[in-house]
């Protein structure tokens, strides 16, 4: 299988993760308003599984390093399989809540609050389990990201009110999504060997772990997504039959593309963790918040109706995020 041993290449892969994780939600924006996010999300889940299988049977099966996908899957312990699967279940709930928050509050708000909080929690939990990198630089970087979250929330409060209830709901759901998202990665990491070249017996390689994680995501979708279809946070219930009645090939492909984009990011993050460490790999990937905020602010114009004085707050948000990410990168080599 393909194993990354260079820290520089690992950082490049983490940057790609950042771009993928910060950009996949644009596909949700591209879907028509008549196509509820719940229906979009079924196709998204399919895209995640398809990409994980593609990588497993190609990058995860070629070469002499480590174990190839099928032998690795066959020797995996029940505990390792369960941990990766549970990671997919937890992530799926958090991601559905994030998609709901995007639907209510927009990308420029839901991502900085939800994913930013996940970054802080995820870096802490992964560093405690696998301490790689300078802790001072790493946690100061995380602290700057938390400041960016607060600044973004202040900017959001300046938007013309769509009703205080809706504002509070969007922020509240983003926070819930962030707390759950902060822990899913640790479960996946715990299912894997820390040595990718000579993996431990019973534990999995990155490619196998991502496939099991993806199956956890897809299977749990029949629970989590079904619930929000029947009892949505906003709007009317969505009939399951609408997936076939309203869905066009274009809409289905858009959703699958969203899942593929996100899954590329997840795979690269896990593969890069061998050289970068789980805390740094996860932390850099969750810089996706800055990418998503960029899309929301400059492409989707989600703050175009904000009052004067909001732009400096948004600039500060980007600055704090950028400084935080730089410190997270330097933490591995300091």
Residue 2 resides in a domain? no
Residue 221 resides in a domain? yes
Range of the domain at 45: 7-330
Q: What is the pLDDT of residues 39-90, one digit of tens each?
A: 999 999 999 999 999 999 999 999 888 899 999 999 999 999 999 999 999 9
Residue 1 resides in a domain? no
Residue 314 resides in a domain? yes
pLDDT mean over 291-318: 85
Residue 215 resides in a domain? yes
Q: What is the pLDDT of residues 211-250, one digit of tens each?
A: 999 999 999 999 999 999 999 987 899 999 999 999 999 9
Residue 154 resides in a domain? yes
In degrees, rounded to 5, the angle at the alpha carbon of residue 127 between the alpha carbons of residues 290 and 135 is: 80
CB 289 within 8 Å of CB 150: no
Q: Considering its fold, how many domains does the chain have in total?
A: 1
Q: What pLDDT shows up at residue 166?
A: 53
Q: What pLDDT shows up at residue 245?
A: 93
Residue 25 resides in a domain? yes
């Amino acid at each position: 299988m393909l194993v990354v041993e260079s820290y520089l290449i690992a950082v490049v892969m983490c940057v790609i993760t950042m771009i993928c994780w910060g950009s996949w939600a644009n596909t949700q924006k591209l879907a028509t308003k008549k196509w509820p996010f719940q229906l979009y999300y079924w196709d998204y889940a399919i895209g995640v599984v398809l990409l994980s299988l593609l990588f497993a049977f190609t990058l995860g099966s070629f070469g002499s390093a480590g174990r190839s996908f099928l032998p690795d899957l066959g020797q995996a312990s029940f505990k390792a399989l369960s941990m990766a699967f549970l990671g997919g279940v937890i992530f799926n709930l958090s991601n559905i809540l994030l998609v709901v928050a995007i639907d209510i509050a927009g990308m420029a708000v839901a991502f900085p609050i939800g994913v930013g909080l996940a970054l802080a929690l995820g870096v802490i939990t992964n560093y405690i389990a696998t301490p790689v990198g300078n802790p001072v630089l790493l946690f100061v970087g995380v602290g700057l990201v938390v400041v960016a979250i607060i600044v973004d929330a202040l900017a959001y409060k300046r938007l013309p009110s769509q009703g205080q209830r809706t504002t509070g709901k969007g922020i509240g759901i983003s926070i819930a999504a962030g707390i759950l998202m902060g822990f899913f990665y640790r479960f996946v990491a715990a299912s894997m060997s820390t040595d990718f070249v000579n993996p431990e017996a019973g534990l999995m390689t990155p490619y196998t772990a991502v496939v099991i994680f993806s199956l956890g995501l897809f299977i749990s979708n029949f629970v989590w997504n079904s619930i929000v279809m029947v009892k949505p946070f906003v709007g009317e219930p969505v009939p399951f039959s609408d997936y076939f009645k309203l869905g066009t090939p274009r809409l289905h492909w858009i959703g699958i593309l969203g899942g593929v984009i996100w899954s590329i990011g997840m795979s690269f993050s896990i593969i890069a963790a061998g050289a970068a460490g789980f805390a740094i790999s996860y932390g850099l990937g969750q810089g996706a918040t800055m990418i998503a905020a960029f899309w929301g602010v400059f492409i989707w114009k989600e703050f175009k109706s904000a009052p004067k004085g909001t732009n400096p707050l948004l600039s500060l948000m980007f600055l704090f995020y950028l400084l935080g990410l730089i410190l997270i990168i330097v933490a591995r080599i300091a």
